[in-house]
Amino acid sequence: MKLLSSIALTSILTATIATAQTTMCFKENHKSMATIETTALNGGECKNQKSVQDMKKEGWSVADINIDKTKNGTNYIYVFKKEEANLSSINEKALEEKILNRLEERKKQEIAIKKKEAYIRKSKSGEKLYNTKCVSCHGKNGELKAKGISRPINSLNLQDFMLSIQSYNNGTYDRGMAFVMRPYATLMSDKDVKNVYVYLRNLKEKKEKSTGENK
């Protein structure tokens, strides 16, 4: 715009940077200084509809003004600013809450990722142990009754799974084929038992998911 090339850009830019909410309106070749504040201005929030007085009623104040005489009248350029008492604190609070929410969400995502990675590690460790020591009696997925007697171990919850192994280890369970299971149980730590349980649970979840998708 030709008008802008003649104004003091430095003062306008300074006003714009110094305030959070600024706008610029202008009027070219206006004839009377007495009517400029009631005349609709072009540009910015004025949009050829609002005068200086209208802007002031809406809470704007004149931060800077440039007046330039021309052959056909006078060019006026107004820089308006609007300050709301609580705007800054509200924005800061909203921004702080947004940042905290993002950090909390990221923390949850990181925890979920770590849990998933740990679950995968336990499952892989449990798979190796299960295929070495358990699969021949309990079946590929822990679905068999070992020697036709025991419960399918893939149906046990973690507490029952742990108690069963502990019972073999401390001799409190000596019925049925306990003498066959005890040598294996004594070689398994609590960590080993949990890993095998996670592996069997993982197999069960995959099977259920596959079944659900095929329905």
If you average pLDDT over residues 46-68, what whole number do you get? 93
Residues 6+ apart with CB under 8 A from 27: 36, 39, 41, 42, 75, 76
Residue 86 pLDDT level (bands cut at 50, 70, 90): low
pLDDT of residue 198 exceeding 70, the answer is yes
Q: In this model, does residue 17 exceed pLDDT 70?
A: no
* Residue in the block written with tokens 């604190």: 89
- Look at residue 99 in the predicted model and tell me its pLDDT: 81
pLDDT reported for residue 174: 62
Confidence (pLDDT) at 97? 84
Across 76-109, b (16+ Cβ under 10 Å) vs e yields: bbbbbbbeeeeeeeeeeeeeeeeeeeeeeeeeee
Say what the pTM is.
0.50
Mean pLDDT computed over every residue of the chain: 82
- Across residues 201-207, what is the average pLDDT? 88
* CA distances (Å), origin 77, targets 34, 37, 141: 16, 12, 81
Q: Which residues of 13-29 are buried (b: 16+ CB within 10 A; e: fewer)?
A: eebbeebeebbbbbbbe
Helical segments of the chain, H only: 9-18, 52-57, 87-133, 135-138, 158-170, 178-185, 190-213
At residue 85, the pLDDT reads: 54
By three-state DSSP, how is residue 85 classified? coil
Token couple for 100:
């905290």
C-alpha to C-alpha distance for 12 and 75, rounded to whole angstroms: 15
Domains of the chain as residue ranges with CATH: 2-83 (no CATH), 122-209 (1.10.760)
What is the percent of the chain with per-residue pLDDT over 70, rounded to a whole number? 84
Count CB neighbours of 158 within 10 A: 12
Model confidence at 8: pLDDT above 50: no
Crossing angle, helix 87-133 and helix 190-213, to 10 degrees?
100
pLDDT digits (tens, 9 = 90+) for 131-168: 998 998 899 999 988 878 888 888 899 998 888 888 88
